[in-house]
Structure 1
Amino acid sequence: MVAYKSKVVERIQLPSRERRERALEQAGYNVFDLAAEDVFIDLLTDSGTGAMSDEQWAALLRGDEAYAGSRSFDELESAVGEVMGFSNVVPTHQGRGAENVLYGTLLEDGDVALNNTHFDTTRAHVANQGADPVDCPVARAHDLTVDGPFKGNFSLDRARSVVDDVGSERVPLVILTVTNNSAAGQPVSVENTRRVREFADEIDATFVIDACRFAENAAFVARREAEFADAEIGEIAREQLGYADALVMSGKKDGLVNAGGFVATDDEALFEKCKQRAILYEGFPTYGGMAGRDVAAMAVGLREAVEEAYVTDRIDQVRAFAAMLEDVGVPIYTPPGGHAVYLDAGATLPHLSPDEFPGQALVCALYREGGVRGVELGSFAFPGTDRPELVRLAVPRRTYHDEHLEHVAETAAAVLETRESIDGLEIASEPAVPELRHFTASLEPISS
């Protein structure tokens, strides 16, 4: 069932193939450096790229821009308490600001942080503190074709083996990312969350949930975990998040806004430490790097994210998009996640080896063919890790219609027809921080 109708439209236009080829070359075959006006369908990320509701736009106009004691902050604090169950909130300009505040507070040089799977900025923030980010995915997480209801779960066996090797005193932090973005947006069960809570208690570690897509995860729990078959999305979300000591949140995902994030916790001592670090890096604790109007819009968005009509439409659109791609023969990660469809670049371009970056080659081919921008999440984005060669097509919330996604499927089908002619890529220049190289590195075709 459709959950909303359009009230404002934006004109878009497919640039000519000549223009696309020129833009790709000028961008160093890195689509992060493409101008947005050169992109037709933009599936680079679902972060901050969605459409806000009429209620959120109304909240923008009512936003309180006071430096301290903003009414908009009171609204956010109330929404976080109601929707997520936490009483203390430290706002930040976006999710990576929240990561800096929280992980900069909890980690020191030589520590180890465990996560079901670290995403790029999470990994970089952990490493920036001198700590070691260790992934603990379940065995089937990187099997692209095997079915499973909760392939995003945290592997307790893997975590315990790490603790046995390094000692529990070196593991002050356990993170659970819901949904698991680096494992193709796969959900995490509430039962697994409970077990992770128990494990964190065993080793006396702080348990943090990365809650960027908490509502989407709750929707999967409702569909796949028998205990919650009759539960409401909001009820599931509060249950799952309630096992954590703290949350780190990018409001640009399930906050349904274009900017903002926060740390939330009931731990008063941790809250005070985070507030002080936030003042240094983000801003005063009642605005945290955001305009008051953005804080107000996020308060509305958090409540909308757990509405049954919204989240059902969201999950079903991504599932329908996956079916479109499968119907034209494109290999994808199954089952599809909640915010994106992940293409199997290794199977799509089997003639390219991992050191020829098949995922990035596929990203470039999709743009060249149809003006579609996705992102590589394989050997280029995650150097030195054992992950499959994936291309993520992230669907912005409440933004594109079936016709847009049909164009993407047609583009992918056209790429498949000529895939043997697609060349691999090599790095021409890259930044000093390997965890972030895919944002700014330049590449060139190997054949040249």
Structure 2
Amino acid sequence: MKRKLIDLIEPFKIKVIEPVRLVSEERRKQAIKEAGYNTFLLLSEDVFIDLLTDSGTSAMSDNQWAGMMLGDEAYAGSKNFYHLEKAIQDVLGYKYVTPTHQGRGAEHLMSQALISEGQIVPRNMYFTTSKLHVNIAGGVMPDVIIDEAHDPENEFEFKGNVDLLKLQKVIDENGPEKIAYVNVEMNVNMAGGQPVSMANLRAVKKLCDQYKIKVIFDATRSSENAYFIKTREKEYADVPIIDILNEMMSYSDGCIYSSKKDCLVNIGGFLATHDKEIFEKTRSMVVVYEGLHTYGGMAGRDMEAVARGLRESTQVSYLKYRTNQVKLLGDLLIEGGVPIVRPPGGHAIFLNALKFLPHLTREQWPAQTLSAAIYEASGVRSMERGAISKGRDKDGNNIFPNLELVRLTIPRRVYTNTHIEYAAECIIDLYKRRHEIPGLKMVFEPEYLRFFQATFEQLPL
């Protein structure tokens, strides 16, 4: 596959570097064993290329670093909060803003403010922390994503779309009063970073308005989603990203947002809304759980970096480079015969562990096994997104979803295309000897979000 260099060239210069080293194969084998074959438990110093997550791992710009020197660290009324508020109003179009220390804080506030015991929060596809916050508040989160999302090889361009018939069924079976809100995630993580179309967002809002049901977005990767709308929905080809974002958010009552992704920062988050009632509820709660409503757990300097990063993330040159670097990794793996989720998504490439390791049973945790094997073979850290992440049902049984994936998440503005090529080369080589990879058994399981801390032992091949 021929690639144009102009589509892959970085739209920036590198001013500061952080040295990395590839530790020996012997050390990698020892390190992953010490970590219980869980890549979350590896030491960062033992990792060569870190594709664990795009959350808080971006490289900030000179403009953002300059802004951090202007941090107003007043406890109340920091000027940086008002810069952040204005950026959110301009870029996303929401009137009211409640800052939080990161997206998880916003999830907590929104869940506690809007969910009553026994209520339902339909979502295109669950995310781990989002679902847990709904459960803790007494709610349940059924998936209402289109069927194409469950097929890794389906090339539909908007696999994050809500299935309106599935959503209608949930409303009909439970009654609108049982629906706390409908939750729509941008660039759906667990489906492979797949975007939602503008047409679908518009249709979801129209349906929910009929029943007076609120729509809340997980807008964490909304800039990347907006770029896919610009490049895949013809009527938006000439529309600026900010205008696309404003229209997207107009089809919601509010959003939760982890600034650690699209805002290109290492920490921060917020909850934003058009609805004054939601704002008043969450603003009163933020002082209990996060901090005063003009900092919400962030330092002034961090709020300034978020404000500037949110604006930077709307630059077409950056978004083109960002999505094309992800696509580069996907294309290289496809050329090497490696099974991935198609089409390549917005923030990561997802390996189909069931096809990569067909000799393993589901109880031998193929995705967890593959993630550990990739590290041992290359020093590249990835993460499991399958049955370990899905967890157990109410009866305590493991849930085995259709998608058993390994996520290779690309930090923003951090790695060069040579790093990407190295990662692809190592994974392709591992695929050629995939039948030599033994499975795992779980030996420790924490109560919540087990993928973070569970440990494993290697089984005999």
Query: TM-score, structure 2 length as denominator?
Result: 0.95
User: Residue 439 of structure 1 corresponds to which residue in structure 2?
Assistant: 452
Supply the distance in 1 between the matched residues of 2:363 and 2:403 (Cα, whole angstroms): 13
Question: AA paired with 2:383?
Answer: V
Supply the distance in 1 between the matched residues of 2:310 and 2:92 (Cα, whole angstroms): 9
Question: AA paired with 1:389?
Answer: E
User: Residue 240 of structure 1 corresponds to which residue in structure 2?
Assistant: 248
- Asked if 2 retains the 8 angstrom alpha-carbon contact of 1:372 and 1:408, the reply is yes
Structure 1 residue matching 2:291: 3-state secondary structure = coil
Task: Give the CA deviation at 1:234.
Answer: 1.4
User: Residue 398 of structure 1 corresponds to which residue in structure 2?
Assistant: 413
Task: Give the CA deviation at 1:71.
Answer: 0.4
Supply the distance in 1 between the matched residues of 2:127 and 2:347 (Cα, whole angstroms): 15
Relative to structure 1, the CA distance from residue 283 to residue 440 in structure 2 (aligned partners, 3 Å threshold; closer, same or farther) is same
Q: How many residues align?
A: 446
- Asked if 1 retains the 8 angstrom alpha-carbon contact of 2:100 and 2:268, the reply is yes
Structure 2 residue matching 1:221: 3-state secondary structure = helix
Structure 1 residue matching 2:408: 3-state secondary structure = strand
The reply on whether 1:163 has 2:171 as its aligned counterpart is: yes
Task: Give the CA deviation at 1:166.
Answer: 2.1
User: Residue 388 of structure 1 corresponds to which residue in structure 2?
Assistant: 403
Relative to structure 1, the CA distance from residue 387 to residue 281 in structure 2 (aligned partners, 3 Å threshold; closer, same or farther) is farther
1:360-413 deviations in Å (ceiling 9; x for gaps): 111011000001111111111113253311111000000000111111111102
Matches within 5 A, 1:12-51: 12-51=20-59
- Asked if 2 retains the 8 angstrom alpha-carbon contact of 1:116 and 1:137, the reply is yes
User: Residue 123 of structure 2 corresponds to which residue in structure 1?
Assistant: 115
User: Residue 173 of structure 1 corresponds to which residue in structure 2?
Assistant: 181
- Asked if 2 retains the 8 angstrom alpha-carbon contact of 1:185 and 1:337, the reply is yes
Supply the distance in 2 between the matched residues of 1:92 and 1:261 (Cα, whole angstroms): 5
Supply the distance in 1 between the matched residues of 2:337 and 2:400 (Cα, whole angstroms): 28
Supply the distance in 2 between the matched residues of 1:78 and 1:356 (Cα, whole angstroms): 50
- Asked if 1 retains the 8 angstrom alpha-carbon contact of 2:122 and 2:182, the reply is yes
User: Residue 395 of structure 2 corresponds to which residue in structure 1?
Assistant: none
Picking from 42, 46, 63, the partner of 1:55 is 63
The reply on whether 1:218 has 2:233 as its aligned counterpart is: no
The reply on whether 1:127 has 2:127 as its aligned counterpart is: no
Q: What RMSD over aligned residues (CA atoms) do the two structures have, in Å?
A: 1.1
Question: AA paired with 1:195?
Answer: A
Structure 1 residue matching 2:183: 3-state secondary structure = strand
Structure 1 residue matching 2:343: 3-state secondary structure = coil
Matches within 5 A, 1:4-403: 4-383=12-391, 384=399, 386-403=401-418
Task: Give the CA deviation at 1:202.
Answer: 2.3
Question: AA paired with 1:37?
Answer: E
Supply the distance in 1 between the matched residues of 2:65 and 2:137 (Cα, whole angstroms): 38
Structure 2 residue matching 1:19: 3-state secondary structure = helix
The reply on whether 1:426 has 2:441 as its aligned counterpart is: yes
Supply the distance in 2 between the matched residues of 1:163 and 1:12 (Cα, whole angstroms): 52
- Asked if 2 retains the 8 angstrom alpha-carbon contact of 1:322 and 1:336, the reply is yes
Structure 1 residue matching 2:23: 3-state secondary structure = coil
1:149-204 deviations in Å (ceiling 9; x for gaps): 10110111111112222222211210110011111000100110011111221232
Relative to structure 1, the CA distance from residue 176 to residue 385 in structure 2 (aligned partners, 3 Å threshold; closer, same or farther) is farther
1:201-226 deviations in Å (ceiling 9; x for gaps): 12322110111011100100011112
Structure 1 residue matching 2:355: 3-state secondary structure = helix
Supply the distance in 1 between the matched residues of 2:180 and 2:206 (Cα, whole angstroms): 14
Task: Give the CA deviation at 1:249.
Answer: 0.2
1:319-375 deviations in Å (ceiling 9; x for gaps): 111111112221111100010011111111011122211111110110000011111
- The unaligned stretches of length 5 or more in structure 2 are 1-5, 392-398
Supply the distance in 2 between the matched residues of 1:354 and 1:235 (Cα, whole angstroms): 45
Supply the distance in 1 between the matched residues of 2:274 and 2:231 (Cα, whole angstroms): 29
User: Residue 428 of structure 2 corresponds to which residue in structure 1?
Assistant: 413
Supply the distance in 2 between the matched residues of 1:266 and 1:173 (Cα, whole angstroms): 15
Relative to structure 1, the CA distance from residue 218 to residue 258 in structure 2 (aligned partners, 3 Å threshold; closer, same or farther) is same
Segments ≥4 residues shifted beyond 3 Å? none
- Asked if 2 retains the 8 angstrom alpha-carbon contact of 1:172 and 1:204, the reply is no
Supply the distance in 2 between the matched residues of 1:410 and 1:36 (Cα, whole angstroms): 22
1:93-133 deviations in Å (ceiling 9; x for gaps): 00001100111111121011010011110011111111111
Supply the distance in 1 between the matched residues of 2:216 and 2:138 (Cα, whole angstroms): 19
Question: AA paired with 2:321?
Answer: D
- Asked if 2 retains the 8 angstrom alpha-carbon contact of 1:355 and 1:379, the reply is no
Question: AA paired with 1:279?
Answer: V
Supply the distance in 2 between the matched residues of 1:369 and 1:204 (Cα, whole angstroms): 53
Question: AA paired with 2:160?
Answer: G
Question: AA paired with 2:351?
Answer: L
Question: AA paired with 2:26?
Answer: E
Question: AA paired with 2:269?
Answer: G
Question: AA paired with 2:38?
Answer: N
Structure 2 residue matching 1:14: 3-state secondary structure = coil
- Asked if 1 retains the 8 angstrom alpha-carbon contact of 2:362 and 2:400, the reply is no
- Asked if 2 retains the 8 angstrom alpha-carbon contact of 1:369 and 1:414, the reply is no
- Asked if 1 retains the 8 angstrom alpha-carbon contact of 2:122 and 2:167, the reply is yes
